[in-house]
Structure 1
Amino acid sequence: MAEFRMREHTDPQALRALAHPLRMKLLQELALRGPATATELAERLGDTAPNCSWHLRQLAKYGYVEDAPGGQGRQRPWRFVPAGNRWGTPGEAPEITAAGDAVSEVMLQYELAELQSWQERRSKHDANWRAAAFLNQSITWLTPEELDEIGAQIQDLLLRHLDRLADPELRPENARPVRMLAWGIPAEH
């Protein structure tokens, strides 16, 4: 795996830039399908080029996307900047907490919609993909240190092939995009 960059969020504005459904879709399109212009993205997402362009500039302002080689002006392509995003440290400013909550809400709604979409269309997919897809749920008793260790292990697994987003040459022949989401949160008891 290539060197992985993690964004440690301390600026609520940079974090809040992610808290928009269209921006989540733009990031996904660029991550999965590669560089594209605002016009191309608008066509794919059923939006307008000026609106997509404005949201792309907001994402670029905080380093989530950047100019891709080739093109200029309205034909300027954008590309995804692969990196993780981390926030939620103890003692963080309330503004970061609020921005993180907003991002988490948008991200969770987006991912749940994607899971529901998979559930509706899974019978149309190859048997190997249906068998490989999974949904796990568990509850157990852990210490904060154990939960932290499990979280680090899951993060390592989720990020193991992140370099394939930026470099299509690294993708095996039968590979396709796979959504992965995990959380470990204390349950009320």
Structure 2
Amino acid sequence: MGLGAVRRAAAASIIPVVVMATASSCASSGGGEPEDEPTSRSPSPSATASASPQAIQDAVLEAGVTGSGLPEGVTPPDDSGSPGAAWAPDEGLLYVITFGSSTCPIVAEPEATAAGGVLTVKVGATSDGPCTMDFVPTTSVVGVPDDVDENAPVTVDLGDQIMLDVQPRSAAGSAGPVTWAPTPG
């Protein structure tokens, strides 16, 4: 599923979530027999931990790691939700930044492929189920083939006709500048 389709699917999944929440609320407040066990409306600590992925700034940088938020020092150019890409501080790793639901983040596959001077990164949603209505950044760390020249601009294909010209790092050990997809519209 491409980024455009994911955005449409996320918007369409909002209505079923509201309907399910309302139906569950009505069913549980009916006049039935009281249950023997007390109920709590607070999520358990384990449910809270699993619903909140690790912040990307706290993650160990290796291919396949995905974290919530933006890499240190990164600010998106606007609130359009356009994806972006940049070299991570460690050689051989690329950041791919997407925006969407925190419970159904859009993530990149752990490894990119290179052909014809283009680095291809597969991106997709992590869930087909109901998603929260929030709109947050998620950063994926993607491994690149050894023969990719990180000291020159590299074209990155994220699918859905999103091609980004990622610029090299200004210094070894630092992240490169983020190249953002143009704002739709």
Q: Into which bin does the TM-score normalised by the smaller protein fall?
A: under 0.3
Decide which structure has greater strand share. Answer: 2
Bigger Rg, which one = 2
- Compute the TM-score of the two structures, normalised by the length of structure 1: 0.21
The TM-score, its normalising length taken from structure 2, stands at 0.22
Q: Which structure shows the bigger proportion of residues in helix conformation? A: 1
